[in-house]
Copies of this chain bind each other. A is one copy, B any other.
Amino acid sequence: MAQTDTVTRILDTAEVLFAERGFAETSLRTITSKARVNLAAVNYHFGSKKALIQAVFARYLDPFTVRFHHALDELEARHDDGVIPLEELLETMARTVLEVPAEKHSLKVFMKLLGLAYSQAQGHLRRYIQEEYGSVFTRFVELVRRATPELPDAERFWRLHFVLGTVIFTLSGLDALRDIAEKDYQEHVSVRDLIRRLRPVVVAALNAPLPPPALPRAKAS
């Protein structure tokens, strides 16, 4: 069982280093030396650095999508009118996100990786995630649509991305923010605390009054 050891040791080391420094700033030599495996092992087991990056994500996202689909199945079964209250949807998503990394890995690392996936160039990664895991997101959006029928489609689209930004930004920059917060307010902040604070804000954001209609752009003066 030495083979599994090598693969998981590479993944464990790589995800931490990627989360700390980003993808381009982390060399294979740094990973393999810290993981105490041979340099060639990465290309042997994964094929390339790109594939390694995708594998790191897959290890989180595969169990997440499975669990999230299951959770949504149960939720839909409990509401036979097909309409699930917004709070329950958000609650379910939060619970699933919390559960998955808790099994073996750090939630902090997971969120930081998600943040990187959005901000780093790495076109192949965005494409990979979209193609591989886009369907869960689509399903979730459709359920949110039924839960907020009064919201115009375009408005809901944007607001979902607004709150997505809030969550990813906050949780992926958690370490730096936590340092500031603890220094200024002498208060320890766990991820669960943060989610507790996040919930009313997200609900309020989605239920905010509609913006005034767009005015035709006036000639600049």
State the A residues within 8 Å of B (CB). 20-22, 24-25, 115-116, 118-121, 126, 153-155, 157-159, 161-170, 172-173, 176-177, 180-181, 184-185, 187, 190, 192-194, 196-205, 207-212, 214, 217
Query: Smallest distance from the beta carbon of A168 to chain B beta carbons, Å?
Result: 6
**Interface pair A170/B159, CB less than 8 Å apart:** no
Query: Smallest distance from the beta carbon of A122 to chain B beta carbons, Å?
Result: 8
Query: Smallest distance from the beta carbon of A83 to chain B beta carbons, Å?
Result: 22
Instruction: For A121, give the chain B residue with the smallest CB separation.
Output: B21
**Interface pair A201/B196, CB less than 8 Å apart:** no
**Interface pair A119/B121, CB less than 8 Å apart:** no
**Interface pair B170/A168, CB less than 8 Å apart:** no
**Interface pair A119/B153, CB less than 8 Å apart:** no
Task: Provide the bound-state CA to CA distance between A66 and B221, in Å.
Answer: 22
Instruction: For A215, give the chain B residue with the smallest CB separation.
Output: B196
**Interface pair A194/B158, CB less than 8 Å apart:** yes
A–B Cβ pairs within 8 angstroms, 14 of them: A22-B24, A25-B121, A116-B119, A119-B120, A154-B187, A159-B201, A163-B166, A165-B167, A165-B168, A166-B205, A196-B212, A203-B208, A204-B207, A205-B208
A196 / chain B contacts, CB cutoff of 8 Å: 211-212, 214
**Interface pair A162/B170, CB less than 8 Å apart:** yes
**Interface pair B185/A211, CB less than 8 Å apart:** no
Query: Smallest distance from the beta carbon of A208 to chain B beta carbons, Å?
Result: 3
**Interface pair A200/B192, CB less than 8 Å apart:** no
